């Protein structure tokens, strides 16, 4: 009799346990939700990570998990993330974003090529042997321009008496002259305007090399683009940081196409490009302020891909060149956690979007290019 009662009790317990188990599976274990940030190339996961026990705990966990995960999802969506059905879809969306970035960069190269051909004539034209920033400030001086007395930090405001409204006007006023002409430049030097004579050289060699680099980028010949960019930095040419960044971006487009993770060589190109930009910014009024966002973007990319020495050095250069009231906000430190096929876990997003001890946020990145 006792055995029969014990058997009945076990059956009743079994009948109660099965619904509880189903409830635990269907309600208690909230599935992780994956989200993609189309702007930064991050994949986020909102998931419940606290273990509960018992039937009552299963119900409470199910309700609490869904509420907590939904709160995490809502917060991530408010930051620009888009939900994906699963991790595979999230990775697919990320790959699509990376390819779109490459296509956008290629389209931009096509536009730059058309503008360059329109701006610089095919016939011989004047080139003064200096690289300028958009405000007309001289940031690179080649040998013959240096001999003529042009200095770093000079800002050109007029050419042979013709005032320039913008960079395009300034370039047009220079290139309409011939290679053997002598120009009178009106410069702002040490806060005062001075006039300075300079001899022209033939601008076609530099033009042809620029066009060759942009043609390579326009045709998605990324390695050719990288090779041709070096030709623009060989003496007597000494072009500004844009060439270095073009090299880094073409190289990164090739990396994305090959679907490989960044290496020290990839990071070095971005580091060198931004280093040249920081060096040039010293000669431009509010130069560090103007480029801060671009440099911080590269610093973030370097940190996320574990190139800490490069990121630290760029940050120090940026801070040294900024006035105290304009120091950039330090980027959040990245907690690097090894995951299969994935590179990093940004701790600042964990702190931002986790709710108590119940929801974990993990951010992944497979290093899309940063077209800035």
DSSP of 187-254, one letter per residue? EEETTEEEEEEEE-EE-HHHHHHHHHHHHHHHTT-HHHHHHHHHHTTSTT----HHHHHHHHHHHHHH
- pLDDT-derived band at 36 (thresholds 50, 70, 90) equals confident
- pLDDT-derived band at 104 (thresholds 50, 70, 90) equals confident
Final residue of a structural domain among 159, 184, 202: 202
Which one-letter DSSP state was computed for residue 41?
Answer: T
pLDDT value of residue 144: 86
Residue 119, H or E segment: helix 87-119
Burial class (CB in 10 A: 0-12, 13-18, 19+), 279: middle
Final residue of a structural domain among 167, 202, 237: 202
Lowest mean pLDDT among 14-23, 113-122, 150-159, 242-251: 14-23
Cβ atoms 298, 270 nearer than 8 A: yes
Enumerate residues 6+ apart whose C-beta is below 8 A from 70.
Answer: none
Residue 188 and residue 153: Cα distance in Å, rounded? 9
- pLDDT-derived band at 354 (thresholds 50, 70, 90) equals very low
Final residue of a structural domain among 202, 218, 248: 202
78 and 136 fall within a common domain: no
Whether the per-residue pLDDT at 314 is higher than 80: the answer is yes
Residue 301 lies in a domain: no
* Tokens 């006792």 found at: 2
Longest dimension (CA), the chain: 118
- pLDDT-derived band at 62 (thresholds 50, 70, 90) equals very low
Residue 150 and residue 128: Cα distance in Å, rounded? 10
Residue 299 lies in a domain: no
Strands 42-48 and 359-365: antiparallel
197 and 138 fall within a common domain: yes
Residue 76 and residue 197: Cα distance in Å, rounded? 59
186 and 131 fall within a common domain: yes
Q: Label residue 336 left, alpha or beta by phi (over 0 means left) and psi (-120 to 50 means alpha).
A: beta
Query: Which residues are paired to 35 by β-bridges?
Result: 44, 83
Give the other-Cβ count within 10 Å of 228's Cβ.
23
Whether the per-residue pLDDT at 192 is higher than 90: the answer is yes
- The parent domain of residue 79 ranges over 19-84
Enumerate residues 6+ apart whose C-beta is below 8 A from 227.
Answer: none
Whether the per-residue pLDDT at 275 is higher than 90: the answer is yes
Number of domains in the chain: 2
Whether the per-residue pLDDT at 130 is higher than 60: the answer is yes
Whether the per-residue pLDDT at 94 is higher than 70: the answer is no
By three-state DSSP, how is residue 173 classified? Answer: helix
**Structure tokens belonging to residue 344:** 């990093």
Residue 36, H or E segment: strand 33-37
Compute the mean pLDDT over every residue in the chain, rounded to the nearest whole number.
Answer: 75
Whether the per-residue pLDDT at 18 is higher than 70: the answer is no
Looking up residue 136, the CATH number of its domain turns out to be 2.30.42.10
Whether the per-residue pLDDT at 6 is higher than 70: the answer is no
N-to-C CA span, the chain: 81
């Amino acid at each position: 009799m006792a055995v029969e009662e014990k058997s009945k009790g076990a059956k009743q317990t079994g009948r109660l346990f099965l619904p509880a188990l189903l409830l635990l599976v269907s309600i208690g274990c909230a599935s992780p939700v994956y989200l993609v940030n189309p702007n930064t190339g991050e994949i986020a996961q909102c998931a419940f990570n606290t273990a509960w026990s018992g039937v009552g705990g299963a119900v409470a966990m199910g309700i609490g998990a869904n509420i907590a995960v939904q709160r995490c999802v809502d917060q991530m969506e408010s930051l620009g993330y888009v939900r994906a059905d699963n991790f595979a879809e999230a990775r697919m969306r990320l790959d699509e974003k990376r390819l779109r970035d490459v296509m956008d960069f290629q389209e931009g190269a096509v536009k730059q090529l058309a503008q360059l051909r329109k701006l610089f004539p095919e016939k011989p034209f004047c080139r003064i042997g200096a690289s300028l920033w958009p405000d007309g400030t001289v940031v690179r001086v080649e040998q013959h321009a240096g001999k003529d007395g042009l200095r770093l930090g000079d800002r050109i405001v007029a050419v042979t008496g013709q005032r320039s409204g913008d960079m395009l006007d300034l370039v047009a006023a220079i290139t309409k002259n011939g290679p053997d002409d002598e120009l009178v430049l009106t410069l702002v030097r040490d806060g005062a305007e001075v006039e300075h004579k300079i001899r022209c050289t033939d601008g076609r060699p530099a033009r042809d090399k620029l066009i060759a680099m942009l043609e390579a980028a326009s045709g998605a010949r990324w390695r050719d683009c990288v090779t041709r960019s070096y030709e623009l930095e060989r003496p007597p040419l000494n072009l500004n940081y844009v060439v270095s960044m073009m090299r880094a971006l073409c190289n990164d487009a090739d990396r994305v196409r090959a679907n490989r993770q960044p290496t020290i060589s990839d990071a070095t190109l971005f580091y060198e490009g931004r280093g040249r930009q920081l060096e040039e910014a010293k000669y431009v009024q509010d130069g560090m302020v103007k480029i801060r966002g671009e440099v911080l973007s590269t610093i973030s990319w370097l940190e996320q891909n574990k190139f800490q020495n490069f990121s630290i050095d760029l940050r120090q250069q940026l801070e040294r060149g900024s006035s105290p009231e304009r120091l950039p906000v330090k980027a959040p430190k990245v907690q690097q956690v090894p995951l299969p096929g994935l590179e990093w876990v940004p701790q600042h997003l964990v702190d931002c979007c986790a709710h108590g001890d119940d929801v974990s946020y993990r951010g992944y990145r497979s290093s899309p290019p940063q077209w800035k």
